[in-house]
Amino acid sequence: MDTCIMDVKPLVQSPIPPSTRLHKFLAACITGNASDLHLATDRPPMLRVDGKLIVIQGESSLPKADVDAFAAELLDASQSKILDARGDCDGAITVDGARFRFNIFRRGGNLCVALRRLEERFRNLRDLGLPESLYELCDLPDGLVIVAGPTGAGKSTTLAALIDRINQTHSCHIITIEDPIEYVHAPALALINQRQVGMDCPGFNDALVASLREDPDVILVGEVRELETIRTAITAAETGHLVLTTVHAGDCVGVVERLVSVFPAGEQEGIRRQISLVLRAVVTQQLLICDGTLANSTMAHANRRSRVVASEILMVNSAVANLIAIGKSSQIYSSIEIGAGQGMQTLEQDLARLHVSGHISETTALAFAKNQRTLRDRVNRLRAQPSARANSSAIA
């Protein structure tokens, strides 16, 4: 683990009340442009900045009593019961206009707190580094749209951007089922109701089943990972609802196989057919450190972003739907490669774009590519284009 010291004003550990100290740690997270704050018994408070953990300067290891007090500040009565019963609990708080998602868990009988800083505003797809053509998904009358990627890849932020677009442009009823509620949407053109698992409903599937009786047009499910929740999400998409959700998977083909593999072998053929009928799009994304020539350019330094999104996009047309139905998912990749006109792109195509444009280094691009030879080929193709050569000259 890379550890360094961050220059943040030392916090006096006593007799400042726990709530005040917690707020100061959260303020350090904001001013230090950190993505996460970690508070653990017998360890100093740490921030994650550009992917690296950093010890807050002047802070020593936190005693058990302090971490217990921080947890008590974050948890309500129902969440405390969940923590006692399960050993971990999710939640979210807003402090001075900043929103944080938290997870409190036990480690060796002691409590640990991990807080993730969320965006203070809804960012549009262009700001996120995703194609604006994805906004077309907001106009779909029904079907299943999945955003995939590892933890911390910005899946919730992407879904929040899509829900905000629907909220601003469609007169409809949106129901979100989340654990916890990360982005709070104020009703605009749409009526929007956000339900938190553990507080408003016992679980994702129970809330999803109930939502079908609540006259929704759009349903956001924070995550589908259990068989019954996946089954209900497919049913909701079949019955005239637009369902948006997330899955932990590394690529678009992996998402399809992940959904199918949850079901018993005897059901998988039928589930493939159902998925082929309701799946509309899959977006997988990774967050990468900006370490290319653009990031190091003096001219671009003021406007550079510390991280950038690399994405793979699958739009389900009739050919792709047929491949899903007959179990030939491995051939979907070829459809993505030739589907640029329909808004599709492979991860290698996007990594090549980010490298040629100077956002990421060749080392980073190769590290995240599934096929390094394909990546090099895509880089060479882009560099051969006049516009790419002009951009490279401008960066240099």
In order along the chain (396 residues), what is the average pLDDT of each group of 10 residues? 53 65 91 92 91 87 93 90 90 87 92 89 90 97 97 91 97 95 93 92 93 97 93 96 95 95 96 97 94 67 67 97 95 94 96 95 95 95 72 37
Residue at token pair 């998402």: 255
Domain locations along the chain: 3-117, 125-395
In degrees rounded to 5, what are phi and psi of residue 79?
-70, -35
DSSP assignments along 333-381, one per residue: HHHHHT-GGGT-B-HHHHHHHHHHTTSS-HHHHHHH-S-HHHHHHHHHH
Contacts of 341 (CB under 8 A, 6+ apart): none
3-state DSSP of 156-202: HHHHHHHHHHHHHHCCCEEEEEECCCCCCCCCCCCEEEEEEECCCEC
Neighbours of 340 (CB within 10 A): 12
Amino acid of residue 200: D
- Rounded Cα–Cα distance for residues 29 and 102 (Å): 13
- Tell me, what's the pLDDT at 122? 86
Best CATH choice for the domain 125-395 from the list 3.30.70.240, 3.60.20.10, 1.20.810.10, 3.40.50.300: 3.40.50.300
- Tell me, what's the pLDDT at 300? 44
Please give the structure tokens belonging to residue 85. 């019963």
Measured in whole angstroms, how far is the alpha carbon of residue 178 from the centre of its chain?
Answer: 13
Look at residues 41, 49, 12, 50 and name the one whose alpha carbon lies nearest to residue 113. 41
CATH topology of domain 3-117: Beta-Lactamase (3.30.450)
81: DSSP letter: H
- Rounded Cα–Cα distance for residues 230 and 298 (Å): 48
Q: Is the dihedral of CA 9, 10, 11, 12 positive or negative?
A: negative
- Tell me, what's the pLDDT at 97? 80
- Tell me, what's the pLDDT at 2? 53
- Tell me, what's the pLDDT at 344? 97
